[in-house]
C-alpha cells in the first residue's frame, strides 16, 4: 500500500486529491496539511512513501519542503504540483530533490501514474515538461532569466516576488538577515534588476507566480 500525505493550502484541492486517491486499491491518504510547516511536521512524523506538495504556498514553499525532506534524509519522495508548466522550476526542483513534477491541470490518471512511479523509486515529469526540458538541453537555449539562479536564490526570489519582507524570509529559511540580503543582491544582479516590484513583474511574465499573484 502506497502511503500519501497531501500538502496544499486549498482545502478543495486537498479534497479533490483525496477523493481520487480513495478510489485506488493500492494508494492511501494518511495525512493532510494546509501549509509547508504543517506538512514538514507530518512528513517527519509519518514518513509516508510519497508527498503531494503544492509549489505556491504562503510561508514555506514547495521548494523548501523538498529541500528539508532531503536534508532530514526522510524516505518520503516528493511530487510537486503547480499551476505553472512553462518555467525553469522543474529542473530546479529536481536539483532540490523532487521526484516528480506535474501541473494542476493534469488528469486524474496521470496523478495516479505519477504517484505509483515515484513510489517505485523512479522520477515522473509530465510529458510537456519533460519535452521542454529536453529541448532546452538540445538547443542550449535558456528560456528564462531565472534559469541562472541557484535553487536557494530562486526560492528567495519567489518569496520576494510574493511580497514577503527580508526578516520573514530569513525566519522561514532559517538564515541570518545578512545571508538573505546577500542572496537578494546576487539574484538582483543576475536578473539585472534593482527592486522587488520589477522582480514580481518579471516572475509573473515567466510563469513563476500562479494565477493568484501574491499567493
Number of CB atoms found within 10 A of residue 151's CB: 19
> What digits encode the pLDDT tens for the residues 94-126?
777 889 988 888 899 999 999 999 999 998 987
Ranges of each domain in the chain: 2-137, 145-205
Matching CATH number, 2-137, of 3.30.360.10, 3.40.50.2300, 3.20.10.10, 3.40.50.720: 3.40.50.2300
The model scores a pTM over 0.85: no
> What digits encode the pLDDT tens for the residues 70-102?
889 999 999 998 776 555 566 677 777 889 988
Q: Which of 79, 89, 93 has the alpha carbon at shortest distance from 124?
A: 79
Question: Do 154 and 96 meet the contact criterion of CB atoms below 8 Å apart?
Answer: no
CATH annotation of 145-205:
1.10.10.10
Amino acid at each position: 500500500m502506497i502511503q500519501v500525505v497531501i500538502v496544499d493550502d486549498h482545502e478543495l484541492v486537498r479534497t479533490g486529491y483525496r477523493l481520487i486517491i480513495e478510489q485506488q486499491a493500492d494508494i492511501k491518504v494518511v495525512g493532510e496539511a494546509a501549509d509547508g510547516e504543517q506538512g514538514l511536521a507530518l512528513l517527519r512524523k509519518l514518513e509516508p512513501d510519497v508527498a503531494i506538495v503544492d509549489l505556491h504556498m504562503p510561508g514555506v514553499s514547495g521548494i523548501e519542503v523538498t529541500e528539508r525532506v532531503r536534508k532530514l534524509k526522510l524516505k518520503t519522495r516528493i511530487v510537486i504540483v503547480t499551476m505553472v508548466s512553462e518555467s525553469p522550476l522543474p529542473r530546479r526542483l529536481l536539483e532540490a530533490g523532487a521526484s516528480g513534477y506535474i501541473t494542476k491541470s493534469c488528469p486524474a490518471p496521470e496523478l495516479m501514474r505519477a504517484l505509483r512511479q515515484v513510489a517505485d523509486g523512479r522520477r515522473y515529469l509530465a510529458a510537456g515538461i519533460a519535452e521542454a526540458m529536453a529541448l532546452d538541453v538540445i538547443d542550449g537555449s535558456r528560456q528564462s532569466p531565472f534559469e541562472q539562479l541557484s535553487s536557494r536564490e530562486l526560492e528567495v526570489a519567489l518569496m520576494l516576488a510574493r511580497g514577503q519582507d527580508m526578516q520573514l524570509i530569513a525566519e522561514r529559511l532559517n538564515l541570518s538577515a545578512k545571508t538573505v540580503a546577500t542572496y537578494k543582491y546576487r539574484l538582483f544582479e543576475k536578473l539585472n534588476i534593482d527592486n522587488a516590484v520589477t522582480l514580481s513583474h518579471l516572475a509573473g511574465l515567466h510563469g513563476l507566480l500562479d494565477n493568484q499573484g501574491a499567493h
